[in-house]
Structure 1
Amino acid sequence: MRRLVLTLFPALVAAGPAFAHLDPGAHGSFAAGLSHPVFGADHILAMVAVGLWAASLGGRAFVALPLGFVGAMALGFVVSLGGLPLPMVEPMILVSVLVLGVLVATAVRLPLSAAVAITAAMGLFHGHAHGAEIGGAAALSYLAGFVTATAALHALGAAAGWALGRFGGALVARGAGAAVAIGGSALVMAG
């Protein structure tokens, strides 16, 4: 299993989709929102890393970290729609991949409030980016779509973190965090 993950992960990080975000007019606002996070390696890596970190922390963090990210992401979306700028949104999204990957890789254990604050801060920037790219989508349907996709990516990361920790050991679970950080580094280098 470990070899499979290590073999496929670089391909998933390096591969870009052959298509852009879905057109809300042709596919509907919910589908456009649902597809938005899964069309960017930066979003996928950060959101899966939230789940990985939540699984490694366990307890209430298993739910609190994803909820903090999603709640702040929704707030960032509203802030964006309201026309309020956030500085360096795209660089901060890349920083979120690196930071979250390193937190998982180094098995950092923080108080729950600090861990939630970190994931929420990252979520704010992701939500602002989603709002900036809304196009002609209806806001509530688009929001529901990308919240659903984000929650699914968090759940995927949490399930992977739990399984890797349980069956592969803590070192393997930490390796998944290192892979996220390496993928983030590749995205930073690619520009």
Structure 2
Amino acid sequence: MSPINSLWFKWKSLRLPWRRSFLVGYDLSGNTYWEFKDTLNSGRFRRIVKPRSRTHYSDLELSPQWHQWLRYVRPKPPSIKEQQDDIQRRERILLLAEIQRKKWETEQSQLDAPATQQSGLPTRTSDRAIKVGEESRMNAPGADALWTKARGRPEASTAKEDPFFRPKDVPGRKWQPEPWTPTSSKR
């Protein structure tokens, strides 16, 4: 910032009694933030932003700190050092996110690596795998369900496995609740 601009900012930030608006600060984009006394609403100070010249209102981007100050969430305006630290923090977060994304891409997921997955159980009795390890497969836990799927036999469905399982005591689709009639309570 030029020395002339800094002198002008210091002059405008002085809270002199005849001034209507006071410069509070500026951001790194060149926007200025002002406070003025609202005479219509009980003398409360209003806060506004004046964008730099040649900036359309739709292109205006405020930092979170200045937005908090404008909405009275933050009592004091942010300093230039705080705004610069916030930009460095954002850059570090983006860098760490990029490093993590690259790390995730290099690691192979079990779902993405079909070569490491086991092939399905053989479905024909002529397959050599059925004859070789039939005894060990039948004694494994959960082998019955796998064996019936491999052989094409229907397996018994339970409430946890079948999403359409409905117990017998559940009312049908046309069931409607009975109207409630309040009764006096006994004392």
Same fold (TM over 0.5): no
Q: Name the one with the larger strand percent.
A: 2
Instruction: Name the TM-score, length of structure 2 as normaliser.
Output: 0.25
Q: Name the one with the larger helix percent.
A: 1
Higher RCO, 1 vs 2 (CA within 8 Å, ≥6 residues apart):
1
Bigger radius of gyration: 2
